[in-house]
Amino acid sequence: MDEQKEHLLPLYTQDGSVAPSSSSSTRQNGHFRRQSQSPSNPLLIIPKAPQSQQSTAPPTIRQQYTWLAVYFALNLALTLYNKAVMGKFPFPYLLTGIHTFCGSVGCLTLYYRGAFTLTRLTDRENLVLFLFSTLYTINIAISNVSLNLVTIPFHQVVRAMTPLFTVGIYVVFFRKTYGTMTYVSLIPVVAGVGFATAGDYYFTALGFTLTLLGAFLAALKTVVTNQIQTGRLRLSPLELLHRMSPLAFIQTLLYAYLTGELDSLKMYTADGSLTRRDVVVLLVNGLIAFALNIISFTANKKTGALTMTVAANVKQILTIILAIAFWGLKVTWMNALGITLTLLGGAWYAKVELEAKTKRQQQSRGG
């Protein structure tokens, strides 16, 4: 579940106090809050406190970049791990199913340990989360289908346009604008990936359409992830993952069935291709994906959707650099130019955002 979970809030209402009774509750400003350190029912719906009680101090710039650094490290690790796993276990939907299954079990375990509580959601809000999980799995499905209709270099170039789609979504649907330098800094970030992955460009009309749609959906998923955590719902990363993972798990199994992966898995296991060691490798892969989803959702909340899409482009370039270092990948001068452009563009974007955030913080203190 990469990427890019935009991933993916004052989600928890716990205050750290020890409840006098596992079943007691108190009334605050007309809202009931359950005081339980170890919830007995993981499906219990907890009314969330008024907005004023959920407000927290905005993350510092140091915290934002720390979360991004951890996101980079885990994302690169999972990307390389997935590459190794897919060589032996060629079932992309089932692998995603393992990721969402580990997310479901992991969140349930953390819930029982009192790491977070659940907020009361309306039917409409539950529908929003269902649609979000559907968006998550459809994005994966379209990416997999389009890869069979276009060449990998073309697919990477189009997916590199995700930051531009993100800006477009914010401008059109949220009436949000950015500084001129932010727009300019995105040019080398996007163009650099094109040069770095330059190769044989081939695509069908359907492949072009699906790849373009996939890039838009990737941007939309990142924006929606941020809005669910910072908008009216204000779900925390853990609660969002807890509610989304089981739905996504069911949907990925459905895709696996429709694409014939389940039947292929039966033949794969029948001839002894899947060993116990392979099962352990897959479970570890799922645990890394679970950790990455938590980090990705948290980083998205603290840094913003556009920053996450820029980070995804830079991560793609770092993956190429690792391939050069460890697997002797040959690059042309154009590839090297693209790598340089993206890295410089990413640094430029980070500088522009840092200056903008510093200015906003100074204005808020002065106001």
In the chain, % of residues over pLDDT 90: 59
pLDDT at 32: 40
211: helix, coil or strand? helix
Give the residue from 290, 156, 172, 169 showing the smallest Cα distance to 223. 169
How many CB atoms lie under 10 A from the CB of residue 18? 6
Give the residue from 149, 133, 54, 59 showing the smallest Cα distance to 100. 133
Distance CA 320, CA 1 (A): 19
- Residues forming beta bridges with residue 32, ordered by sequence position: 27
Predicted confidence (pLDDT) per residue in 67-118, tens digit: 989 998 999 889 889 888 988 899 999 999 999 999 999 999 999 999 999 9
pLDDT at 169: 97
Helix/strand/coil (H, E, C) string of 79-123?
Answer: HHHHHHHHHHCCCHHHHHHHHHHHHHHHHHHHHHCCCCCCECCCH
> Which of 125-139, 273-287, 315-329 shows the lowest mean pLDDT across its residues?
315-329
How many CB atoms lie under 10 A from the CB of residue 167? 20
Mean pLDDT over residues 59-65, rounded?
Answer: 81
Asked whether the predicted pLDDT for residue 172 surpasses 80, the reply is: yes
Give the residue from 118, 70, 14 showing the smallest Cα distance to 298. 70
Higher pLDDT, 328 or 346: 346
Give the residue from 189, 177, 196, 162 showing the smallest Cα distance to 309. 162
Tell me the pLDDT band of 367, cut-offs 50, 70 and 90: low
Distance CA 120, CA 33 (A): 10
CB 163 within 8 A of CB 189: yes
CB 219 within 8 A of CB 6: yes
Q: Quote the tokens at residue 251.
A: 């949907």
Distance CA 245, CA 251 (A): 10
Q: Quote the tokens at residue 345.
A: 């563009």
